[in-house]
Structure 1
Amino acid sequence: MVGHMRPAEPPTDHAGATASQASGGSWTFLSNHAHVLLCLAADPHQTLPVIAEKVGITTRAVQLILTDLIQGGYIERTKVGRRNHYRINPDGHLRHPLEAHHRIADLITAVGPATPDGSARDAAGDGASTPPRRRRTG
């Protein structure tokens, strides 16, 4: 007998944490690399301790992940005063063969941060949208 599938929406508590998070669930659909990338998409000026707290890993783990992402060409780090600014390469492709046809921009659009008006933020991670190209005439 085939059972009916229910929607996979985890229940949330009044603080917004899912039951899986609250009970210390042991897995998620995205890797820590994806979580760090999505944090940077939300705010490219975040500090490592802030990212570590949001992702639930150590600051050292964030450093190692950032090194991977920089070496892989997925993000670029620029020093701005005493702080770092990170720019995401939206054209980088996901690494696993099952998702390699998707770009980082696709990931950020699908599960990344939203702006206050509910629209997806640009995948470059700098908060600025790229203006549409003008077509040449004549």
Structure 2
Amino acid sequence: MNSALDAPHGTAGSGAAAGGSWTFLSNHAHVLLCLADDPHQTLSKIAARVGITSRAVQLIVSDLILGGYLTRTKVGRRNHYQINPDGHLRHPLEAHHRVADLISALGPTARS
């Protein structure tokens, strides 16, 4: 085995938790769900929540903007992000679902 991609399921990476280190959603989905929760939050806050670098979040946000899933508007010194709920998921297995479906299923819960 040459890389974590070649490793048997649940064994990739060192110090993996009992269930392995993989997750069902990509970092792109995690960033999108964070922005659904709070469209005003900073990239560094998103990075901390997702567990990736701020630079990785910046690249993902750029991908999402280029893909038509997000728009960015400057509000003072901060950015505000708006999600396009009608964008379709990219993988052929999920392409019949919209971003709104993902957010509805896994997005922010009602706040008290």
TM-score by length of 1: 0.67
Tell me whether 1:76 sits opposite 2:67 in the alignment. no
1:1-138 pair list within 5 angstroms: 25-116=20-111
- Measured in 2, the distance between the counterparts of 1:22 and 1:112 equals 24
Larger radius of gyration: 1
Instruction: Name the SS for the 1:51 alignment partner.
Output: helix
Tell me which stretches of 4 or more aligned residues in structure 1 moved more than 3 Å.
21-25
Percent pairwise identity: 78
1 CA distance for matches of 2:110 and 2:58?
27
| Number of equivalences | 97
TM superposition shift of 1:95 = 0.1
Indicate how the Cα distance of structure 1 residues 23 and 87 shifts in structure 2: closer, same or farther if over 3 A, else same: same
* SS of residue in 2 equivalent to 1:65: helix
CA RMSD of superposed structures (Å) = 1.6
DSSP 3-state at the match of 2:29: helix
Q: Which residue of 1 aligns with 2:9?
A: none
TM-superposition CA deviations, 1:77-118 (whole Å, max 9, x none): 00000000000000000000000000000000001111126x
Amino acid at match of 1:42: D
Q: Which runs of 5+ in 2 are unaligned?
A: 1-15
Classify 1:67/1:114 alpha carbon distance in 2 versus 1 (closer, same or farther; 3 Å): same
Query: Can you give the 5+ residue segments of structure 1 that lack an aligned partner in the other structure?
Result: 1-20, 118-138
Q: Provide the TM-score with structure 2 as the length reference.
A: 0.82
